[in-house]
Amino acid sequence: MVTPLEFFIVSKVGWYLVAPSHLLVWTAVATVWLAARRHAAALLPAVAGALSLLILLILPVGDWALRPIENQYSRPTTEPEAIDGILVLGEGLNGEALRSRGVPGVGPDGGTLLAAAALARRHPEARVIFSGGAGDIGGIGVADAVVARHVFADLGLDDARVSYEGRSRTTLENLLFAKDVAQPQAGQRWVLVASAYHMPRAMLSAARAGWQVTPWPSNYQTAAQGRQHHLSLAANLAHLDLAAHEALGLLAYRLAHGTPTHTTQGPA
């Protein structure tokens, strides 16, 4: 049985090795290593790396991979009239900016905080829980919950409404630890706010935690259909990394924790 700490460490190290952007680096390293030894096989990784970069420069491969993941869950067509609670997941906020500059850095996943704050303003009756700790292996980084507290305060969200959980390191721990804080009761409606690309893994974790929630995907990275307005190698590779990270994360969660039945709530 894999412990939570072992799962966390293996997932971090494994992703460092197999991220698509990192595979391009390993390919370049292999090319140099073989070429330095005048090995004929050096041509193979060189051609593979060059073709991969050319394809990523010309074709929106990242969007093609990421869009199906973001499309798995959509917001309710009708917003619930009343919400008991709003759960917001940490997704790698920039704690180092807060520690070194005194200014919270939200990074590319800050859209979830904006979506949660807007939802909280429309539903003053709802509790708000933010769940997210430090994502580094050493556990010495600034927890997402600390950054989120500063951002929510800047957005005018009453701190008395928000509970912060800053111990969790994985998505499953986000749901398990937040559930301990929320103590949701039967019949309550809880809305789960996470980036659209992260929602499938978040909902799988919610089902594993036995918490019935309504998905509220936010912070979309891709258009609903068609090509993006421009192509960028960096953006394309970033989207491909995101898609691979979530696909591998889902696979790892299912292998480690099983595949429970999804528990979701529909619109009111």
- Mean pLDDT for the chain? 90
Q: Which helix (H) or strand (E) holds 188?
A: none
Provide CATH 3.40.50.620 ranges for the chain: 77-219
* Predicted confidence (pLDDT) per residue in 189-217, tens digit: 999 999 999 999 999 999 999 999 999 99
The reported pTM is 0.88
Looking at residue 266, its pLDDT comes to 45
Ordered DSSP codes for 21-48: HHHHHHHHHHHHHHHHTT-GGGHHHHHH
- For residue 123, what are its two tokens? 């539903």
Architecture of domain 77-219: 3-Layer(aba) Sandwich (3.40)
pLDDT of residue 258: 67
Q: How far is residue 174's CA from residue 166's CA, in Å, rounded to a whole number?
A: 9
